[in-house]
Amino acid sequence: DDGYRLWLKFDLITNIQQRNSYTQKCQFIYSDNQEAITKTAQKELQAGLSGLLGKKILILTNLAGKKGGIILQVIQNEQTNQLAEDGFSIREENQNIVIRSRTASGVLYGSFAFLRQLQSGSSIAQINITDSPKIKYRMLNHWDNPLGTIERGYAGSSLWKWYELPEVIDQRYIDYARANASIGINAVVLNNVNASARFLTKEYIVKVKALADVFRPYGIKVFLSLNFAAPKLLGGAKNSDPMAPEVRNWWKNVTKEIYAAIPDFGGYLVKANSEGEPGPQDFGRTHADGANMLAQAVAPYKGIVIWRAFVYAADPKGDRFKEAYKDFKPLDGTFASNVLVQVKNGPIDFQSREPFHPLFGAMPKTPLAMEFQLTQEYLGFSTNLVYEAPLFKECLDSDTYSNGKGSTVAKIVDGSVDNHSLTAIAGVANTGSDRNWTGHLMSQANWYAFGRLAWNHSLSSEQIASEWIKMSLTQEPKAVATIQDLMMKSREIYVDFTTPLGLHHVMGQNIHFGPEPWLERSARPDWTAIYYHRADSVGLGFDRTSKGSNALGLYAKEVQTQWGNPDTCPLPYLLWFHHVSWNQKLSSGKTLWNEFSSRYYEGVQSVEWMQKQWNYVQSSIDPQIFADVTGRLAAQHREALNWRDACVLYFQQYSKQAIPAPYQAPSRTLDEMKEIVRIYQLK
């Protein structure tokens, strides 16, 4: 069905003139390279072209001077040496279209890029495209658990059926690999960073190998998240101290076993000393000690270690914003050369809007990987339409000024500012066993956008949306424009009805899709809402200037200037950095209270606007998809009303001011809202 096929639909092109013009140039496929990945490229081209053109396109075994077809060429020459590894060119030469790269993977990406031209109706006359990935490892991180659940997964259960593997190979594994390859994703971490040690057992290594064998012909490397206490849990070691020879040996041996089964295994992803996970600090060692021990174990096989910087200690008087910086910045320059430190886009935790993480630009001697979250933990799960490309771009385009103007986060991550060739970007996957993969059909666009931006972070959100819509939903120009507009506004709309003006972390303790701004008690002080919003009779927001926590001081001077003055700080970041009084006039001309409370109402109205816009495109959309998205928008509207009523009523207790005209006070009371949230969270 339509949802399952993602953006790889390849239905017959109905415009006959256009189809004929393509057919003329796509009469056959030929390759003189027979690597497995090149064969995949041939097969994908054949399937795609045959669907689009409505006739079987043959794969030739002998070119014999034929013209009018597609030639795949893996070759090292002056031209391909100009491209990054896996870069490609697509050119018309001697009346054939040549897709050329230094690597078979490059030819595969070129083939999908070529298909994309046809799928979106672009001209291929005198085609001349060169394209190279800006980042080396373009990864999905699955937070999948061995028993099939997914941490923060909202699209069904895990794709990996561990109990059936290695004997049973589900067709879905192959379809998943195709989808990734089509957007340039070349690495996959199979399991949750809150990791079970069982993935390092013999029993599981053969299962992982089975998946690696499926993914290899699509150019995808497999990684595992590891449990740092595994030597003790599995190996019977006394403890897991990374300086203990017994422990180091254990890792060496298990790594050897993995590489014996999977020679191109990518390496390890590690969450250590974070949220209760074990780590080197348990033994008085540093993150670098832990990472370097593992780096040494994988180095003989050219593996890498990706060490997460998502750490924060329980200090009720401190500022969680600063924790990772405090732990990691001093370690810059002490990591082995095959270690990357993976940093979330923002300093807290995947909120609907965060300033960029202050570690970007602060560790020039260490390659930093970006971690985005595709799964919508704080973006309305799978009932809310939130197109994430603008969120990703906002972070990637932020200037750290670490090495002068233009040292954007993107250029830190792609290695160009500090001259790193080991580079990576990760997206926490939003896939699951649902028929349409992502729960909300429109969330497929987030998977797609992540892949496209991982390849080329300078693409615009608009362009990516338009590509995706044309391949996934419709090519009817008015519908494309309407849906694109709706997607482009969707993230800001979500921010408005949940956490406007830089408010953050006021979601339910358990229901991250709903509000709980009144939350005062939690297992950890820095998990409560009141820790973050700091509402009082004077105003609202977390003072992170030098008069407050001074988290702002972690950024370059230029950034401090941008955000440090409450009168000039852009409104989207205001409450991230300032405690602003309720009556303060903002740059919008309204007082804080009026602007803040109005945003909730405008946000709800905007959801109604999205519903209307979606209705306009009905005739251009597959009926099942149309109905499903219609239903989800209605659910989103219900949730938006909950956010609005809960938040304006709660914060009104502090502002003690009326809801500004023309808006009307909610018809529900604060106690009623608390009861709704309480019941949601009952076990």
Q: Which is nearer to ligand GCW, 149 or 460 (CB)?
A: 149
The site map against ligand GCW for 270-309 (x = CB under 6 A) is -x---x----------------------------------
Q: Three-state SS for 485?
A: helix
- Alpha carbon distances (Å) from 54 to 25, 57, 71: 14, 9, 20
Is 567 known to be catalytic?
no
Kindly state the DSSP code that residue 591 receives in the 8-state scheme: B
The site map against ligand GCW for 20-59 (x = CB under 6 A) is ----------------------------------------
- Alpha carbon distances (Å) from 621 to 2, 6, 144: 10, 14, 32
Q: Which is nearer to ligand GCW, 151 or 170 (CB)?
A: 151
Q: Nearest 10 degrees: CA dihedral of 553, 556, 557, 562?
A: -90
Residue 350, interface with ligand GCW (CB under 6 A)?
yes
Distance CA 398, CA 394 (A): 6
Of 275, 536, 558, 672, which one is the catalytic site residue? 275
Q: Which is nearer to ligand GCW, 96 or 274 (CB)?
A: 274
Which class for 170: exposed (0-12), middle (13-18), buried (19 or more C-beta within 10 A)?
A: middle
Q: Where are the alpha helices (DSSP H) in 236-372?
A: 245-261, 287-298, 323-328
Residue nearest ligand GCW by beta-carbon distance: 349
Q: Which is nearer to ligand GCW, 498 or 545 (CB)?
A: 498
Is 377 known to be catalytic?
yes
Q: Which is nearer to ligand GCW, 429 or 647 (CB)?
A: 429
Q: How far is the CB of 217 from ligand GCW (least distance, A)?
A: 30
Q: How far is the CB of 548 from ligand GCW (least distance, A)?
A: 24
φ, ψ of residue 80 to 5 degrees: the values are -70, -25
Q: Of these, 6, 179, 193, 551, which contacts ligand GCW (CB under 6 A)? A: 193
Q: Of these, 7, 268, 310, 328, which contacts ligand GCW (CB under 6 A)? A: 310
Q: How far is the CB of 504 from ligand GCW (least distance, A)?
A: 13
Distance CA 546, CA 556 (A): 14
Number of residues binding to ligand GCW, judged by CB under 6 A: 11
Strands 128-131 and 96-101: unpaired
Q: Which residues from 138-157 bind ligand GCW, rule CB under 6 A?
A: 143, 151-152
Name, in order, each residue with C-beta under 8 angstroms of 448's C-beta and a sequence gap of 6 or more: 6, 7, 183, 464, 467, 468, 472
Q: Of these, 289, 377, 467, 496, which contacts ligand GCW (CB under 6 A)? A: 377
Token pair recorded at residue 161? 């059926």
Q: Quick one: angle between helices 171-182 and 104-119, nearest 10?
A: 80
Q: How far is the CB of 271 from ligand GCW (least distance, A)?
A: 5
Of 44, 131, 289, 349, which one is the catalytic site residue? 349
Q: How far is the CB of 13 from ligand GCW (least distance, A)?
A: 43
Q: How far is the CB of 344 from ligand GCW (least distance, A)?
A: 7
Is 85 known to be catalytic?
no
Token pair recorded at residue 28? 């056959």
Token pair 């399937």: residue: 47
* Chain residues in the site for ligand GCW (CB under 6 A): 143, 151-152, 193-194, 271, 275, 310, 349-350, 377
Which residues are designated catalytic?
275, 349, 377
